[in-house]
Structure 1
Amino acid sequence: MPQNQQQQNKIQNPETSVPKTPQMNERDFINDLLTTEKYMTSAYNVALNEASNQTLYQDLATIFKETQDCQRTLYNLMFKNGWYAVEQADQTKIQNSYQQFSGYKSQLPYMVQ
């Protein structure tokens, strides 16, 4: 996709300026926290899959939800400040992905469908 087309599809708020110094600024700290929360939710997901004790599973599920909510809050803060941009999906790409994964669905066991 050409650079101009990518810029047109970008969804981003105006960027809040931060000092450009060797020291970490507000954006750096929040980005570091966001990355950490993403790793933590991934690790809790694995722990949930492996938990054999129901009480432990429930505790992990609660912690996972709190961690996921924190990650979402940090993402929203980054997006609000213009430090995180997303790309608007092209309708053709969405349709192609839908068709691709609809084809996979027919390959799944009956219970999953």
Structure 2
Amino acid sequence: MESNNKIQNPETTVQKTQAMNDRDFLTDILATEKYLTQAYSTALNEASNQHLYQYILNIFEETQNCHRELYNLMFQNGWYSLEQADMQKCQQSYQQFQQDKQQLPLH
């Protein structure tokens, strides 16, 4: 059953062959950028030297921006879709967050 809450642009047609097409390349690059941002995030958490931290942070930001641009390109071409969030689920998540937040010690 397909959801009626799907948000997607019209899909740009690509030739389906054994060779990689534009969609395949972008999917692979997007996955790589996602992996890199996760790895840089871990490196930032563990960097003990301020200069090293700043250097990695700059690379992280560039990588994250590339990831976002690739995502936008894939979305524009209809190769990436989203599902509209159900308002009731959003409200439940917000209420759960508020309850969890109240249990945190005050700073």
Q: TM-score, normalised by structure 1?
A: 0.92
How well do the aligned residues superpose, as a CA RMSD in angstroms? 0.8
Counterpart secondary structure, 1:56: helix
- In the TM superposition, residue 23 of structure 1 has moved relative to its aligned partner by 1.1
- In the TM superposition, residue 64 of structure 1 has moved relative to its aligned partner by 0.3
Q: How does 1:20-35 map to 2 (within 5 A)?
A: 20-35=16-31
The aligned counterpart of 1:97 is 93
Q: 2: distance between equivalents of 1:78 and 1:56?
A: 33
Structure 2 gap segments, 5+ residues each: none
Query: More displaced, 101-110 or 45-54?
Result: 101-110
- In the TM superposition, residue 21 of structure 1 has moved relative to its aligned partner by 0.8
For the pair 1:39 / 2:35, whether they are aligned, the reply is: yes
- In the TM superposition, residue 110 of structure 1 has moved relative to its aligned partner by 1.4
- In the TM superposition, residue 109 of structure 1 has moved relative to its aligned partner by 2.5
For the pair 1:60 / 2:56, whether they are aligned, the reply is: yes
Q: 1: distance between equivalents of 2:46 and 2:103?
A: 26
- In the TM superposition, residue 25 of structure 1 has moved relative to its aligned partner by 0.5
> What's the % identity of the aligned pairs?
64
The runs of 4+ residues in structure 1 deviating greater than 4 Å are none
Q: 1: distance between equivalents of 2:51 and 2:17?
A: 47
Q: 2: distance between equivalents of 1:64 and 1:110?
A: 31
The aligned counterpart of 1:79 is 75
Structure 1 gap segments, 5+ residues each: none
Counterpart secondary structure, 1:45: helix
